[in-house]
Amino acid sequence: MDIRLLETFRSVVDHRSATAAAAALGVTQPAVSAQIARLEETVGFRLFERIGGRLKPTPEGLLFYAETANALRGIDRLAHAAEVIRGASAGHLTIASHPSAAISLLPPLVAEFLAERPGVHIKMVTRASDVVSRLLPPESFDIAIAEPPVDAADFVLRRYRFRCVAVLGKGHKLARKASLSPMDLSGVPLVSTWRATMTHQAIRETFAAAGAELNVLAETEFFASACAIAASGSAVTIVDPLSATSFKGAEIVVRAFAPAIPYEICVFHRPGPSLLAEAFIDQLDAHLGAQNEETAS
């Protein structure tokens, strides 16, 4: 059934006049009369009778009007739903990530995303990088973030590469320096991620190449824990800039570290993501790109 005919019928009932309905719809009065005639032919009964020069709905017309009003309200809801979906303003989004991203990277981005889209629901799943990249079923998440390696065979993948920074308490004797090197930190108490991590190995190799003494007093699973210990002033840590940024306002200073110690994360998803997932990916890319040393697809 032609929706335009139903809209014309509703307008005529509401205005009790074909002329007034025509003005409201922006068409001519003969066009309205022709559409009502077509609708009556379609439904098989009279919709109006003329009394005293005005159109009055027949009993059948009144019954049909109630159903028409319900149907058109449903169409309006569909149109609104389409607009919301098209604008990525509703739906569910599942983001799987390794702990550092879940602690430091995602919370402010998720908060900003939800503030602009009150109809969206986000679920965050936190697992170790190897679990996110290898063991989680691809259909269980919309977007994933993990440290490499990530098998890109089944995913659209984007890599982000950063230079690690040094984090130390504001009162630390090295806080006055604009940048730090392995020799500056030779013998200085250091807190690092676990020995098996790529970042720990890179730090160890960098210190060894410079002939500096690596004095690791504590190892943590998360960069956030290392930053918290550094904030106390008892040790220095070398972490990714995303984790360091999340501690802004704490009793820490962030200093450049040279030579460069790289830190890389991968953002990946199945081909053909939803409009909602695409919107979050764009926001994520804009944020990471601002700090990215090198981006590769």
Give the tens place of pLDDT for each residue, 120-178. 999 999 999 999 998 888 889 999 999 999 987 889 999 999 999 999 999 999 999 99
Residues of the chain with pLDDT > 70, as a percent, come to: 94
Report the DSSP beta bridge partners of residue 145.
Answer: 97, 267
Handedness of CA 243, 249, 250, 255 (dihedral sign): positive
Assign residue 28 the CATH number of its domain: 1.10.10.10
| Whole-number pLDDT of residue 234 | 87
CA distance 185 to 269: 40
* DSSP state, residue 176: T
Q: Which amino acid is it at 171? A: G
Same domain, 52 and 78: yes
Same domain? For 172 and 245 the reply is yes
Looking at residues 109-124, what average pLDDT do you find?
Answer: 93
Looking at 86, 111, 130, which one is the last position of a domain?
86
Residue 201: CB atoms within 10 A of its CB come to: 12
Residue 180 C-alpha from the chain's centroid: 35
Among candidate residues 190, 149, 163, the one with its CA nearest the CA of residue 256: 163
- Tokens encoding 91: 């739906």
Q: What is the mean pLDDT of residues 13-38?
A: 91
pLDDT tens sequence across 178-233: 999 999 999 999 999 999 899 999 999 999 999 999 999 999 999 999 999 999 88
For residue 280, how many C-alpha atoms fall within 13 Å in the half-sphere facing its CB? 34
The Cα–Cα gap between 238 and 249 comes to 18
**Helix or strand or coil: residue 288?**
helix
Report the DSSP beta bridge partners of residue 157: 268
Which of residues 69, 86, 103 is at a domain's end? 86
- Residues 203 and 281 occupy one common structural domain: no
Same domain, 15 and 144: no
H helices of 44-119, where? 59-86, 99-100, 106-116
The DSSP secondary-structure symbol of 165 reads E
Q: In this structure, are 235 and 282 located in the same domain?
A: no
Same domain for 170 and 141, yes or no, is no
Distance of CA 90 to the CA centre of its chain: 12
pLDDT for the residue 295: 39
Shared domain check, 62 and 12? yes
Domain range enclosing 290: 90-159+265-296
The radius of gyration of the chain from alpha carbons, rounded to an integer in Å, stands at 32
Looking at residue 293, its pLDDT comes to 64
CB 102, CB 243: distance < 8 Å: no
Largest CA distance in the chain: 105
